[in-house]
A and B are shown apart, each in its own frame.
Chain A
Amino acid sequence: MSIGSPQVRADAVAKVTGVARYAADHRPPGMLHARLVTSTIARGLITSIDASDASGLPGVRAVITHHDLAGELNPVQALVDGGHFHTAACPLAGPVIRHAGQIVALVVAETGEVAERAAHAVDVRYATGPAVLDLADTDPADDVEVARWEVGDRMPGGAVAVDEVYTTPAQHHHAIELYAVLAQWRGASLEVDVPTQWVQGEQRGLAAALGVPESAVRVRAPYVGGGFGGKAVVLWHTVLVAWAARRLAAPVRLFVTRQQCATVASFRPQSTHRVRLTATSGGRLLGYEHDVRAQTSRTDTVGLAGTAMTARLYATSRIRCRETVAPVDAPTPGFMRAPAEFGHAFALESAVDELAARLQVDPVALRLRNEPARDPVTRLPFGGRHLSQCLRLGAELFGWADRDPRPRSMSDAGELIGWGCAASLYPANGGGIVECRMTLDEDGRAVVEVAATDLGTGAATVLAQIAADAAGLDPGAVVVTLGDSVLPAGLMAAGSCTTGSAGSAVYRAGLLLRAALERGESAPVTVTARWVPRGMTPALHAAHRRGSRVQLGPVRDGRVLFAYGAQFAEVRVDPVTGMVRVPRVVGVFDAGRIVNPRTARAQLVGGITWGIGHAIMERTPIDRSRAAFSGTDLGACHVATHADVGQVRVEMLDIADPAVNPLGVKGVGEIGLVGTVAAVTNAVYHATGVRVRRLPVEPAVLVSAR
């Protein structure tokens, strides 16, 4: 059995030796270099662009502005409207500025240095209008509702209530690999190397915008240096570079700077959560109310509604949720690791901890006491649900029983110690239709092909393990080829379901190959398989045929399907400076069957690391007066370093959930983050007695509140 074994990633050596070539590593002959110029204002109009200095520099081949693009590109749709784009608004469609850092020109030159110099020399003048970016500066009356639903008709009169507001900051993905593009035309055909989570979405989006047939566009992303949602959709600079390559009849490669990455793609919007919990004095939850506000852009209504997840964590008889978005002068927000779960779970799991403190009940016991037998929203049965087991095992591994529940009761060497916990859940999404081709050649090598993407997670390795077991081959004989739009239909790598969906297609192909060999067919043999998840409706089939994204959610086929987890964190707080350290985290996860414990663990540890970062440092500051992100480089936007991450212990229950997919796999990419944030902030409360409801925890808050 290859499934279940901790295989090292197939591409590990290629990556650490630099042999793996990422989009920006390619250098075809005659290649030109592009750089972006972005707006300095947040809202208004471009009144003039003087590119004469830039164009006059030796080696500059083009300065492309909205004057050049007018009427050149077809209208397209944003992902949220069934299309493939980050936003429907092409930044160079006209002189309108919609947010700070919007693309206003693309400079193309013979060297990168000249392009960089020329980008600085483009002089853009604006007429500035009033702009708003921070959620705090918006009026809820102008919000757009994205979700509103309730269960039960009257709030039961609970003995105890928690009613608090929690806020989360704007954040950016900051994947180590920056956004980049290489576009080259061969006659009427376009080839694009671009880090993307969705090669075929990219292909379709480019074809639509440029007005060429889909078959004339090939998109490759064999290696992606982290996506986290930022690379899920077509970004406009990709189209602009393809357009420039056609116009200049030469390959064009663009690097986007770290600072520009923050405004030419999506981000995690700011959010506020008002959570009201009511419970009996014995700690039985009765009611859950959750009102959410988040930023969106003025062009696209992006609602990352997460109450449909959090409402399923505990047994409650009355639920009332409302989610709205406030249009602001921002780039369109979008997916970022656990997009609809992070803020919502932080809010709920903080409120549950507050309730436990108020009731003087142990927070683990409180959670166990409210384990639902059926889904509280639909009354449907759950698929595999082992949250209680995660909580119990986590508590045991962490040593939770030794916790003195009183805040500020534990200290060591002058530091306050706090222990906190939180529960996690993440939808076991179903993906959509996936196809896979598998070929056994005369050398005994089995090539598996599917247009899925390995974002660095080890997806290709995991798929090889599945293929090997299904076909009855040695995993070393399987070669998995992903990240190319010419391959059989794959999905966007998002929603933690690549292993479950692509894996199901690969599994089926492997079985077909095995059957062919058993029938006596001899190499070369090619089989193709098509995986259609249960729960595809006619509307979803139609969307699939149109080329729109299909993502089956957690409620399908008469069941409610989630992955679960429980995180326990220890913090140490310096009472003098307020600095918070996280020396220890234990996470126990019910993520279905674990195909590869090594890569799965890496994902969960990565998620926990993000959770630590989100709890104590990650935020993109906003300059409210100028409606701009302020400080978008890695000097200002901190992510956790090794020094911030102590001992992390991850346990996986490894219980296959056959209701989810034939492999019983639920997904590990995002859930590690979900509960970690509240586990850390709950631990901070336990250490200091200060309840932090605004992320991230700031040292000053912990000392000044004393």
Chain B
Amino acid sequence: MRAFQYTRARSLSEAVTAAAAGATPLAGGTTLVELLRAEIARPAHVVDLRWVGELREWDTAGEPARIGALTSMAALAADPLMAARFPAVVESLQLAASGQLRAMATIGGNLLQASRCPAFRDGRSPCNRRAPGSGCAARTGPAHDHAVRGTSTACVAPYPGDLAVALVAADAEIETRSPAGTRRIPAAALHRAPGATPEREHVLGRGELIAAVLVPGGPTARNAAFVKVRDRGSFAFALGSAAVGLEVSAGLVIAARVVLGSVATIPWRSHEAESVLVGERLTAGTARAAADAALAGTCGPRAEAARGAVTKACLTAASRAGVS
């Protein structure tokens, strides 16, 4: 690890000032400390957010629910109001990482977690995300590591997180704070597909911090499910995941959200799958058709996993919407 300056911010404005001066924010540290030790992240300055009380406030009863960026994954996953209003969000948290990690890790940090691509993580293989211009070792590596949507010649790394997938399906917004003030960004617009600049992973500007996540209530948020496909029963990233939200009236789907995880370079909303569902009865057949539409033209272990995840998430969401 390289030496860096460490600042403990006492207020959000102090944190923003430090970040605007180039400091890297530290929340639970479960991603960042690993990257520091591997010298994948080499900041000259780190600002610790953990003493910023404003970032710890949360209110899941309000409309929209407002969740401070420093809320721990474990605390949010255990909140009964969240479970009632946003079951897919809670599932995405419960199925992520391990108990110990969820106790340390925060909501804001989770959204901005780094790639799990082995070429990125080993700290030395060619990787445009870590070392722009060095190439992409993953492209010719195991198919297991390849995203099938949103890739570019520069990068094929899947976005690994679970929470962001469920938040996009819930039409959540991200509230940020920067020297320029406060703004809201749709969760769906937070992450950037790699294009030619995979090192730019999200749209936040210099000095812009995630302050909170806002989740509006509603039928598609409530009748929602998150399904994660992986080879082991716990403590594993998804091979493919999906969050699906449905609004059903008179037995017909009238609104749908279908978002794929771990199969695209960013949380991937599939309007194709949504339009297959809208106006139809949700059956095993339409669920499968939606999955096929979401993954049309793709193949490989991640695509297959995501196909299963979409199908199952459709069926679970339907049962939550009262479809029998």
Contacts and interface: CB of A to CB of B under 8 A. Distances in A.
Interface string B117-156: 0110111110000000000010011101100000000000
Contact of B233 (A623, A631, A641, A704): A641
A633 interface: yes
A621 B142 contact: yes
Interface string A541-585: 000000000000000000000000000000000101111010000
A630 B141 CA distance: 8
A131 to B, nearest CB: 13
* Range for the number of chain A residues in contact with chain B: 35 or more
B118 A636 contact: yes
Given A40-B124, A113-B1, A638 B232 contact: yes
A577 B227 contact: yes
A574 B124 CA distance: 38
B1 A117 contact: yes
Nearest to B2: A117
Given A623-B141, A626-B141, A699 B233 contact: no
B308 interface: yes
B237 A635 contact: yes
B243 interface: no
B272 interface: no
A625 B140 contact: yes
Contacts of A641: 232-235
Contact of B232 (A574, A577, A617, A700): A617
Most buried by A among B118, B137, B142: B118
B202 interface: no
Contacts of A700: 239, 300-301, 304-305
A171 B227 CA distance: 28
Interface string A619-645: 001111110001101011010111110
B232 A630 contact: no
B312 A574 contact: yes
Contacts of A574: 308, 312
B234 A643 contact: yes
B231 A616 contact: yes
B141 A643 contact: no
B39 A120 contact: yes
Contacts of A617: 231-232
Interface in B228-248: 229-237, 239
A106 to B, nearest CB: 18
B140 A626 contact: yes
Contacts of A630: 118-119, 141-142, 145
Contacts of A631: 118, 121, 145
Given A623-B141, A626-B137, A577 B233 contact: no
B321 interface: no
B92 interface: no
Contacts of A259: 122
A642 B235 CA distance: 10
A698 interface: yes
B125 A577 contact: no
Contacts of B309: 577
A116 B37 contact: yes
Contacts of A120: 39, 123
A359 interface: no
Contacts of B312: 574, 576-577
Contacts of B39: 117, 120
B320 interface: no
B85 to A, nearest CB: 26
Interface string A258-275: 010000000000000000
A35 B19 CA distance: 33
A704 B299 CA distance: 10
A31 to B, nearest CB: 20
Contacts of A96: none
A445 to B, nearest CB: 41
Contacts of A623: 118, 137, 140-142
A578 B122 CA distance: 30
B315 interface: yes
11 contacts: A113-B1, A116-B37, A577-B229, A578-B229, A581-B233, A621-B144, A630-B145, A631-B118, A636-B118, A641-B232, A700-B305
Given A699-B304, A703-B304, 9 more contacts: A576-B312, A577-B308, A577-B311, A579-B308, A624-B141, A633-B121, A635-B121, A644-B234, A698-B231
Interface of A: 40, 113, 116-117, 120, 259, 574, 576-579, 581, 616-617, 621-626, 630-631, 633, 635-636, 638, 640-644, 696, 698-700, 703-704
Interface of B: 1-2, 37, 39, 116, 118-119, 121-125, 137, 140-142, 144-145, 227, 229-237, 239, 300-301, 304-305, 307-309, 311-312, 315
